[in-house]
Amino acid sequence: MTINLDEIRVDLIGDDERGFEFLDPETLKPLTELELPTRGVLSAYLDISPEEVAGNKVRLKLRDMASQWLDSIEDRQERRTFEQELEKIEKYLIYEMSRPGRTLVIFSSEMANLWRTFHVPARIRTRLVWDDRPYMRPLLTVMDEYERYGVILATREEARFFLFYMGEIAEYSFALHDYVPGRHKQGGWAQARFQRHIDDHALHHFRNVADVAVRLAERDNWQRIVLMGTGENVARVREYLPKAWQDRVAGEVPASITDNINVIRDKVMTLEQEIERKIEAERVERVITAAEKGQNGVLGYADVLQAVQQQRVDILIVPEGLEHPGWECTQCGGLVADILAKPITECPYCGGHVKVVEDVVDLAMQKVLDTGGIVEILRGPIKDEFRQRGIIGALLRY
Ligand SMILES: [Zn+2]
């Protein structure tokens, strides 16, 4: 059987009843490439957790951020353009707020004929940015922290494939149907031969399933694989995967071939969260142990920000929602957290001029990603414990 991979697409769910939009680098590419000759794109990151939505807090915050921008825009025409974009976002907030998610991300620009909204399951710091291009950085940072799961759901003669990412799932526009003759109840010699025939078909099918999966995995950068179905079938698919992909099987989950896509998504999400909690706990323990022994781990703003500056951070560990004001050097980019309540006037690294920044944590995360490091945002119960131990931490390269 020949399968043309070009014909297999990921069916983007778009607006399902939960309202998430599937995020992937391909979807975002036009946004990252967009650039206007002048400022005309309004980017909004809004906290839409229930506490914030209640009592209109989101809209009040948006208003507040907008008025700060308006104070800084001199040109009358530009102010009008800004206000038009703002109005669109406000309308959206009034009429479309009922959708779930932790953060609502909006990119709006009449000039660029752009209107995109993303309901992201992770928390991203609230902000409003007016520029000549969409402000993608926080979205890309959080995306980097999530892994792409390929999901294979197989029976003895059918298979469906899915891509799960950031709490959302999409199904591949392709399902495998391999003919396998039914089992007979007859006994004797004929039955034995027939049974072998059936098994050949089934094995051929499982080999096809594994083959398609590996090709999709390579094309679409799956990082982990979830095997779904009954125990026996799952074991067969696993058997036919190459060793490298066997090692990336995140788990086996019982499911029926007729399961609704939302059921599949919820099952994968439960598995993903278990895995994520485990990784969080393991990294937190590593950094605390390493810091205590004076090895390759540091805790607390001073040491962590210094390590960031020295480009030594392999994994930056940050409890979700952590923010802290401080300074950024305009010369070398060095970061200093405001922990002593004593303003600094020059950069401790190079003596350069420093400027006040609202949040050094956010800037530190970006620098770590820029230097090839990983950002681990703690979301599970270990988050609060870690805040007490060191607030912020880092595992170092050397
Ligand atoms: Zn400096």
Residue 363 DSSP code: H
How many other CB atoms are found less than 10 A from the CB of residue 144? 12
The ranges of the chain with pLDDT < 70 are 1-3, 5-22, 24-25, 97-100, 179-198
Flag whether 329 is in a domain.
yes
How far does residue 61's CA lie from ligand 1's centre (Å)?
33
- What's the gap in Å between 345 CA and the centre of ligand 1? 11
Q: Is 168 contained in some domain?
A: yes
d(CA 355, ligand 1 centre) in Å: 11
User: What are 224's strand-pairing partners?
Assistant: 149
Kindly state whether residues 73 and 156 are assigned to the same domain. no
Question: Where residue 320 sits, what CATH number does that domain have?
Answer: 3.30.1330.30
**One domain, residues 213 and 182:** yes
State the distance from the centre of ligand 1 to the C-alpha of 308, rounded, in angstroms: 13
Pairing of strands 168-177, 10-11: antiparallel
Residue 271 lies in a domain: no
CB 396 within 8 A of CB 315: no
Q: 187 and 233: one domain?
A: yes
Asked if residue 1 is part of any domain, the answer here is: no
Handedness of CA 129, 136, 144, 13 (dihedral sign): positive
Separation of CA 326 and ligand 1 centre (Å): 13
Query: What is the whole-number distance in angstroms between the Cα of residue 309 and the centre of ligand 1?
Result: 9
In a domain, 23, yes or no: yes
The residue out of 145, 180, 213 marking a domain boundary is 145
User: Are residue 165 and residue 135 in the same domain, yes or no?
Assistant: no
Are residues 95 and 156 part of one domain?
A: no
Q: Provide the pLDDT for residue 27.
A: 74
Give SS3 for 137: helix
One domain for residues 365 and 392: yes
In this structure, are 294 and 369 located in the same domain?
yes
Distance 362 CA to ligand 1 centre (A): 18
d(CA 270, CA 300): 32
How many Å lie between the centroid of ligand 1 and the Cα of residue 391? Answer: 24
Ligand 1: distance of its center to the CA of 348 in Å?
Answer: 7
Whether residue 313 is contained in a domain is answered as yes
Distance 379 CA to ligand 1 centre (A): 32
How large is the C-alpha radius of gyration of the chain? Answer: 25
Are 361 and 317 members of one domain? yes
Structure tokens at 29: 């590419």
Residue 102, domain CATH: 3.30.960.10
- State the residue range of the domain holding 87: 15-145
Residue in this structure with the two tokens 């940015």, named with its chain if needed: 129
Domain boundary among the residues 145, 161, 192 is at 145
Ion ligand 1 contact residues with beta carbon within 5 A: 329, 331-332, 334, 347, 349-350, 352
pLDDT at position 82, please?
98
CATH number at residue 166: 3.30.420.60
pLDDT of 67 reads 97
State the virtual CA torsion across 57, 60, 65, 68 in degrees, nearest 10. Answer: -150
Task: State the distance between the two ends of the chain, measured CA to CA, in whole angstroms.
Answer: 50
Q: Are 383 and 149 in contact (CB under 8 A)?
A: no
pLDDT of residue 206: 93
Considering the domain boundaries, does residue 4 fall inside one?
A: no
Q: State whether 225 and 315 are in the same domain.
A: no
Counting the structural domains of the chain, the total is 3
331 C-alpha to ligand 1 centroid (Å): 5
Distance from the CA of 301 to the center of ligand 1, in angstroms?
17
Pairing of strands 313-319, 374-378: parallel
SS3 222: coil
| Spacing, Cα 356 to ligand 1 middle (Å) | 13
Question: Do 126 and 162 belong together in one domain?
Answer: no
What local confidence, expressed as pLDDT, does residue 183 receive? 52
- Distance between Cα 325 and ligand 1 center (Å): 17
The pLDDT value recorded for residue 12 is 46
Label the pairing between strands 374-378 and 354-357.
unpaired
DSSP string, 324-377: --EEEETTT--EEE--SS----B-TTT--BEEEES-HHHHHHHHHHHTT-EEEE
DSSP 224-248: EEEEEE-HHHHHHHHHHS-HHHHTT
Q: Based on the domain organization, do 246 and 309 belong to the same domain?
A: no
* The predicted structure's pLDDT at residue 193: 66
pLDDT score at 83: 97
334 CA → ligand 1 middle, Å:
5
The verdict on residue 21 lying in a domain is yes
As a whole number of angstroms, the distance between CA 175 and CA 153 comes to: 10
How close is the Cα of 371 to the center of ligand 1, in Å?
Answer: 17
C-alpha separations of 277 from 222, 272, 283, 317 in Å: 20, 9, 10, 13
Out of 145, 175, 199, pick the residue that ends a domain: 145
Same domain, 292 and 349: yes
* Sole residue written with tokens 């507040």: 64
Tell me the CA–centroid distance for residue 351 and ligand 1, in Å: 6
